[in-house]
Amino acid sequence: MRDVPITSDPADDVSLRARAAKLASVLQLPAGHHGAPHAAVSAAVSLVVTRDRLELRLAGDPRGVAPQFERIDVTSGPGRSLQTPLLKAAGIRKGNPYRPRVVDATAGLGEDAWLLAAAGCEVIAIERHPAVVAVLMDAVTRAATHNAGVAARITVVHADARVALAAFARGEGPVAAWGKPDVVHLDPMFPDHAGRKTAERKPMRVLRLTAGNDDDADVLLPAALATAGRRVVVKRPAHAPPLGAAAGPACTVSYAGKAMRYDAYVV
């Protein structure tokens, strides 16, 4: 996990500068240089406050990354077929109104959380990197203007999932009203380039440079298994070994997606 400086753009907008300074103090991240060019910022990634949104920018690249939930297709045939393996792994069946309450313990930029919420699930989305949390919260707030119902089903929590899941297993925290969450979803970073034939998409590259490689991910599986009421769902690259392969239990069933699969552990 890296320190990500907070900047604003355009640099001459004093209200953006003030927002950036406030955010830096709330998130306990360093203040960076304001405005473009971002090559002036020595860090690989900056959190940038713009007039429209919060975004993560690579040094020297003025085009930032932020979730754009309104662009996620969940209505056309191809859009739904991308969503289907995740929903099946979470125990959602066509024609059955059951919708699990989900803890997405590695929320990142929130695409999976959005897909689950769009299907009708209540989702608690946990993320540990403060800059990623800020970008995700901002995106969910923006999304409420075009899809209030889905956005309202997502609660973003800034925490380390190892700590949060242990608290949830004791019935504490935002899941208290649920009893146990039905499903815990895990999607830690996969080691760079391993098991992947194509280049990493820019959002994932930026996320990796921000959050790191999640080398401690194996411990999340036992924590998730101890917390979930019904299932743990783990997203993996298509040909990757299961999470915690050496020590972990075998998954109950896998659902293949385009370049990834979802391993479901029924508890």
Ligand X SMILES: C[S@@+](CC[C@H](N)C(=O)[O-])C[C@H]1O[C@@H](n2cnc3c(N)ncnc32)[C@H](O)[C@@H]1O
For residue 174 the two structure tokens come to: 């935002």
Q: How far is the CB of 57 from ligand X (least distance, A)?
A: 16
**Number of residues engaging ligand X in binding (CB under 6 A):** 21
39 close to 15: Cβ distance less than 8 angstroms: no
16 makes contact with ligand X (CB under 6 A) = no
83 close to 129: Cβ distance less than 8 angstroms: no
Angle at CA of residue 144, ends 10 and 85, nearest 5°: 110
Question: Of residues 188, 230, 233, 236, which one binds ligand X by CB under 6 A?
Answer: 188
Residue 140-159 contact track with ligand X, rule CB under 6 A, x = bound: --------------------
162 makes contact with ligand X (CB under 6 A) = yes
Tell me whether residue 19 or residue 162 sits nearer to ligand X (CB atom): 162
Q: Applying CB under 6 A, which part among 44-52, 140-148, 175-183, 187-195 lies near ligand X? A: 187-195
128 makes contact with ligand X (CB under 6 A) = yes
108 makes contact with ligand X (CB under 6 A) = yes
127 — phi, psi (to 5°)?
Answer: -140, 140
Between CA 237 and CA 57 the distance in angstroms is 25
Q: Applying CB under 6 A, which part among 28-36, 121-129, 192-200, 226-234 lies near ligand X? A: 121-129
Residue nearest to ligand X (CB): 108
Between CA 207 and CA 197 the distance in angstroms is 19
User: What secondary structure does DSSP assign to 82-133, as a single string?
Assistant: HHHHHHHHTT--TT------EEESS-TTSHHHHHHHHTT--EEEEE--HHHH
Question: Of residues 20, 86, 132, 134, which one binds ligand X by CB under 6 A?
Answer: 132
223 makes contact with ligand X (CB under 6 A) = no
Q: How far is it between the farthest Cα atoms of the chain?
A: 56
Residues forming contacts to ligand X in the complex (CB under 6 A) are 106, 108-112, 126-129, 132, 160-162, 187-189, 207, 211, 214, 220
